[in-house]
Amino acid sequence: MTHVVTENCINCKHGSCVDVCPVDAFREGPNFLVIAPDDCIDCHLCVSECPVEAIHDLESVPEAQQVFIPLNALLANVWPELSEGGDPLPNAHEWSGKPDKREFLVLPREVSSALDAWRTPRSLDSGSTSTELDLHHE
Ligand code: SF4
Ligand code: SF4
């Protein structure tokens, strides 16, 4: 199993989760963090450290956030390792809890083709949420 960073981390990037991780499993992008699934040891320490409840264990990822499971794995191979959390982004408090933030996720160009497969919206139980990613590039 692993743990997964989900949508509410976008544009927040509080670093408190990173500081408690015993194996440096986090990777850092411009406005989002991910967890490397091969490094995570499922200690669960980071979950309660996230002030915006963005981290879930693999089996508890909400339906509308399932797209972040492969996204964490993919970006963990692209973004650099992070061992210290640092400060949150300047407007983190304003972005906390905002819905539909994934359109603001800044992604590297080299993974955009791999992400095309996730662009197709999926019908969810609520019928009101899409897992489609609108990609912004660095
Ligand atoms: S604590 Fe939460 S919001 Fe902050 S970087 Fe970690 S996952 Fe993202
Ligand atoms: S569950 Fe533990 S090992 Fe996995 S990312 Fe969180 S703190 Fe690191």
Per residue of the chain (138 residues), give pLDDT as tens.
Answer: 899 999 999 998 778 999 999 999 999 999 999 999 999 999 999 999 998 899 999 999 999 999 999 999 999 999 999 989 888 888 888 998 898 888 888 888 777 666 655 544 443 333 333 344 444 555
Q: pTM for this one?
A: 0.84
From ligand 1's centre to the CA of 120, what distance in Å?
27
- Reference 7, options 60, 69, 59, 88; nearest CA is 69
Q: Is residue 9 within 6 Å of ligand 2 at its C-beta?
A: no
The pLDDT value given to residue 128: 31
The pLDDT value given to residue 114: 64
Atom of ligand 1 nearest to the CA of 14: 4
Determine contact, residues 137/106, Cβ cutoff 8 Å.
Answer: yes
Q: Is residue 41 within 6 Å of ligand 2 at its C-beta?
A: yes
From ligand 1's centre to the CA of 19, what distance in Å?
10
The pLDDT value given to residue 104: 87
The pLDDT value given to residue 131: 41
Ligand nearest to the CA of 89: 1
d(CA 49, CA 41): 16
Q: Is residue 24 within 6 Å of ligand 2 at its C-beta?
A: no
Sequence ranges of the domains in the chain: 3-84+97-137
CATH 3.30.70.20 is the classification of domain 3-84+97-137: yes
From ligand 1's centre to the CA of 18, what distance in Å?
8
Task: Find the Cα–Cα–Cα–Cα dihedral 102, 105, 108, 109, rounded to 10°.
Answer: 60
Ligand nearest to the CA of 22: 2
Determine contact, residues 54/36, Cβ cutoff 8 Å.
Answer: no
Q: Is residue 134 within 6 Å of ligand 2 at its C-beta?
A: no
